[in-house]
Structures are given as structure tokens and as C-alpha cells.
Amino acid sequence: MTVRFEALRSLENYSLHPNHQEVFAYLKEIGLEDLIVVDLEF
């Protein structure tokens, strides 16, 4: 999955949002083993 945000604040809101947390918990439940996060600012 690739996600782009216009501002750091948007990323922070996204990562803490309850819906995002629910999906992340589900992915771990079904076997998510690795996660790569790359944060680039241009």
C-alpha cells in the first residue's frame, strides 16, 4: 500500500485514527509479519 500526505499533520492524524488502528490490528491478526515505512519529505 502506498499513501501520500500533503502535510506531516495529515500523516499523524491518519496513523492515530481509530479506523486505521482497526485495519492494522486485523492485518496483524491474519499474519502480517513485516512492515516497511519510508518517510520522505520533498
CA distance 39 to 18: 21
CA distance 40 to 42: 7
| Residue 38: per-residue pLDDT | 87
| Residue 4: per-residue pLDDT | 87
Question: Which residue is it, cell 506531516?
Answer: 8
Q: What is the pLDDT of residues 1-42, one digit of tens each?
A: 788 888 889 989 998 999 999 999 999 999 999 988 888 887
| Residue 1: per-residue pLDDT | 77
Q: What is the pLDDT of residues 31-42, one digit of tens each?
A: 999 988 888 887
